[in-house]
Amino acid sequence: QSFKLLGFLDVQSVPCARESVLYGSLGSLVVGLGHFLATSRVRRSCDFAVGGFICTMLGYWFYCRYNLAQQRIRQRMLKEGMKNKLLFEGTYLDPERKHSGNERSDS
Residue 107 pLDDT > 70:
no
Residue 82 pLDDT > 70:
yes
Where does residue 94 rank: exposed (0-12), middle (13-18), buried (19+ CB within 10 A)? Answer: middle
Residue 100 pLDDT grade (very low, low, confident, very high; cuts 50, 70, 90): low
The average pLDDT across 62-76 equals: 95
* Contact status, residue 64 vs residue 14, Cβ threshold 8 Å: no
Residue 32: beta bridge partners?
A: none
Give the residue, 31 or 83, on which the prediction is more confident: 31
Put residue 98 in one of left, alpha, beta given phi > 0 → left and psi -120 to 50 → alpha. Answer: beta
Of 25-29, 71-75, 100-104, give the lowest mean pLDDT range.
100-104
* Contact status, residue 31 vs residue 59, Cβ threshold 8 Å: no
**pLDDT tens by residue, 20-49:** 989 999 999 999 999 999 999 999 999 999
Residue 64 pLDDT grade (very low, low, confident, very high; cuts 50, 70, 90): very high
Q: What is the pLDDT of residue 89?
A: 76
pTM for the structure as a whole? 0.69
For residue 7, the number of C-alpha atoms closer than 13 Å in the C-beta half-sphere is 0
The average pLDDT across 74-103 equals: 77
